[in-house]
Each structure stands twice: as structure tokens, then as C-alpha cells.
Amino acid sequence: MRQAGRALPEYRALRERHSMLEMARTPELAVAVSLQPVRRLGVDAAILFSDISTPLPGMGVPFDLVEGVGPVIAHPLRNAADVAALRLLEPAADLPYVAEALRGLKAEVPPGVDVIGFAGAPFTLASYMVEGRGSRDFAHVKRMMLSDPDTWHQLMRRVAESTIAYLRAQAAAGADALQLFDSWVGALSPRDYAEFVQPYTQAVFQALKGTVPLIHFGTGTATLLPLMRRDGAEVISVDWRINLNEAWSVLGPNLAIQGNLDPGALLGPWAAVRDRADEVLRAAAGRPGHIFNLGHGVLPGTDPDNLARLVAHVHEKGATRP
């Protein structure tokens, strides 16, 4: 459950004294925040406290994290020269605190709780670089894809290469699984995904194959699943816009599925949360390889009691726990 920590008073107490980036760059704080949802909610895995924007400065792209907006890049990449100036990320030199936090987290999680490392997927990260911030229509991205495809492909190649180095470093530091966050990929048609994005997502999964289980997270991907199933991840994360049954029939029995409760459901009373959670469990029907999760991050204002009850409920009613 991404951002489960943010709903917790213990997170907000730390946040009063430190910025989000300061916490992500200080291993002791990153470990403490990563553990908060594990301790309070009893989830089965801890996700490293960081952000998809953390590696940007190491690639030569400085940014600010703006409250309620997300990463904002002062000088977005718009042409071939901007892209040529990108650096290849060197994880050990550029963000040593990530590996340190992962090692610390591994040492402190309770037995049986896995540690998830992550990175932004090439499309979502490249989109931040080109748009400069979150976007509704991806006008700059689509303009570049169509009017200067060589520059787009060069950008994706470089971002994918940095992402591979970053994820390898996280696997080496002890991450039990790696999740690639492609939050924005649902903005693309299947044909544009196939031409402009898929080769790079595939390159990332191909390079990481055989290290740890790989999770491909996306939202709004119902029409992209037939392509994503061939990208090389063992787990595909789907959001609530598609029924789990339908997702399974597209992805086939050999892939695991993560999802797909609407995080908005958690804003309702417990009885409504429970009913929606039961619907997800019924749709999963005890199939092997279902990882119960939300379809996207926990929304601000979510009652932590609803989160804790949800975890307990799924543990009680879900078919199996390793």
C-alpha cells in the first residue's frame, strides 16, 4: 500500500521536523518511516521510503518536491541537446543512502516481512523530465514522440539504462522484490505504448530477470495489459478500473496479479471498505499469485483504523499466507 505511512500520525509527526526529501536521504529516518505501516498496520511487506524522483539529480535533472503537487523540474528536457546532457546514474556515488536504507530496513523488519525496492518506470520518469511536473494531457511528451522520435528514443534509452543500474543496486542491497512504477502509462494508446515505451520497459525487466521477483505497477492500463503481459515482470499491478477476473483472463494463469481495491473506498465507513475488499477477494477466487493491494496509493485523509482493519480482514479471509 504505497503511501500508507502518510495516513499515520507518527509519519506526520516526523514530517513536521523534516522534509520528505530529507527523510528519504537520511537512512535512519527512511528506515523508521518504512517500518511505520508494518508496525501499525501489519502489512506483509515494507516498501522503501523514497520517491520516484530521488534519482533525478544524479542524472543531471534537479527538482523540487512541491507539497500536494509532487516533483517539479525547473528546466524540463525539450530537445536533443537537453537529452544529450543527461548523465548515467551511478547509484553508489549518487545516492548511497538508498542502499544503506535498504540494508537497514532488511535488518529491522520483523521475520516474514519482505522489503520492496522500487524505481519509476522509464515512461513515467521520462515524462516528468519532459513535462517538468505531473500532466493531464502529456502535450510535450506527445509532441516529442511525434516530431522528434530520435530524441524521445534516446531519452528512453538513457533513462532505462539508469533505471537498470538503480534497481541492480537495490537488489544487491537486499531488496526482496522490485517494483517498477509506471503511474502515467495509462495516458498512452496501445500502439504508442508498443512503439515508444515497451522496448525500454522490456529492457529493464530483461536486465533484472533472475535477481528477485519483479512487479510492474501501472494505472489505467486495462487496454495495455495484452502488451504488458509480455514485458517480463512476474507480477502485474492493476487498478480498480478493471475487474480482477477480466485482468486475469487477459494476463493468463502464469502471471501474478497485485490489486485492486480503489483507495477511494477507504474513505468510506468500515462496512463499505469490507464489502469492497470482499468483492476483490471473490474476484481473485483464491487463485495462486494474488497479492491483495490497493490499485493506487492511500489517499490523504484516510482513517488509519480502516487501513489496519483492512489488513486484518484480508489476512483472515484471504486464502493463504506464506
Catalytic residue among 64, 78, 87, 128: 128
Based on the residue annotation, tell me whether 15 is a catalytic residue of this protein.
yes
Closer to ligand CP3 by CB, 48 or 244: give it.
48
Three cell numbers at 12? 506526520
Q: Which residues, including other chains, have CB under 8 Å from residue 297's CB and lie 6 or more apart?
A: 1, 2, 3, 263
Looking at the Cβ atoms of 225 and 274, the one nearer to ligand CP3 is 225
319: DSSP letter: S
DSSP letters, 190-227, are HHHIIIIIHHHHHHHHHHHTTSS-EEEEESS-TTTHHH
Q: Please enumerate in sequence order all residues whose Cβ is within 8 A of that of 8, keeping only pairs 6 or more positions apart, or say none.
A: 36, 37, 40, 304
Among 68, 252, 269, 301, binds ligand CP3 (CB under 6 A): 68
Beta bridge partners of 292: 259
Based on the shown chain and the rule CB under 6 A, indicate whether residue 16 belongs to the binding site for ligand CP3: no
Can you read off the three cell numbers belonging to residue 78? 525539450
For the segment 100-129, give every residue that binds ligand CP3 (CB under 6 A). Answer: 118
Does the annotation mark 51 as catalytic? yes
Q: Compare residues 127 and 151 and give the one whose CB is closer to ligand CP3.
A: 127
| Number of chain positions touching ligand CP3 (CB under 6 A) | 22
Select from 46-54, 100-108, 286-294, 310-318 the region that touches ligand CP3 (CB under 6 A): 46-54
How many angstroms separate the CA atoms of 46 and 1, rounded? 9
Query: Residue 196's Cα: distance from chain center in Å?
Result: 20
3-state SS record for 70-136: EEECCCCCCCHHHHHCCCCCCHHHHCHHHHHHHHHHHHHCCCCCEEEEEEECHHHHHHHHHHCCCCC
Q: Is 41 left (phi over 0), alpha (psi -120 to 50) or beta?
A: alpha
Among 152, 181, 205, 292, binds ligand CP3 (CB under 6 A): 181
Which residues, in sequence order, are CB contacts of 45 under 8 Å at separation 6+? 38, 113, 114, 115, 116, 176, 177
Instruction: Tell me: does residue 6 bind ligand CP3 (CB under 6 A).
Output: yes
Q: What's the CA gap between 198 and 255, in Å, rounded?
A: 18
The one among 174, 190, 297, 318 contacting ligand CP3 by CB under 6 A: 297
Q: Applying CB under 6 A, does 71 fall inside the site for ligand CP3?
A: yes
Task: Find the catalytic residue in 2, 25, 40, 274.
Answer: 2
25 lies in the site for ligand CP3, by CB under 6 A: no
Omega cis (within 30) before 243: no
Q: How far is the CB of 5 from ligand CP3 (least distance, A)?
A: 5
How many other β-carbons are positioned within 10 Å of the β-carbon of residue 83?
24
- Pick between residue 274 and residue 314 the one whose CB is nearest to ligand CP3: 314
Residue span binding ligand CP3 (CB under 6 A) among the ranges 64-72, 106-114, 278-286, 303-311: 64-72
Residues 132, 73 contacting (CB under 8 angstroms) = yes
CB of 170 within 8 A of CB of 110? no
Is 20 a residue that touches ligand CP3 (CB under 6 A)? yes
Nearer to ligand CP3, 16 or 316 (CB): 16
| The one among 10, 51, 82, 114 contacting ligand CP3 by CB under 6 A | 51
Q: Does 201 bind ligand CP3 (CB under 6 A)?
A: no
Q: Which of these is catalytic: 51, 64, 148, 176?
A: 51
Residue 166 as a binder of ligand CP3 (CB under 6 A): the answer is: no
Q: Return the residue of 50, 162, 258, 306 that touches ligand CP3, per CB under 6 A.
A: 50
Please choose, out of 60-68, 168-176, 189-197, 273-281, the segment that lies near ligand CP3 by the rule CB under 6 A: 60-68
Residues making contact with ligand CP3 (CB under 6 A):
2-3, 5-6, 15, 20, 47, 49-52, 65, 67-68, 70-71, 118, 134, 181, 183, 296-297
Tell me the catalytic residues. Answer: 2, 6, 15, 51, 128
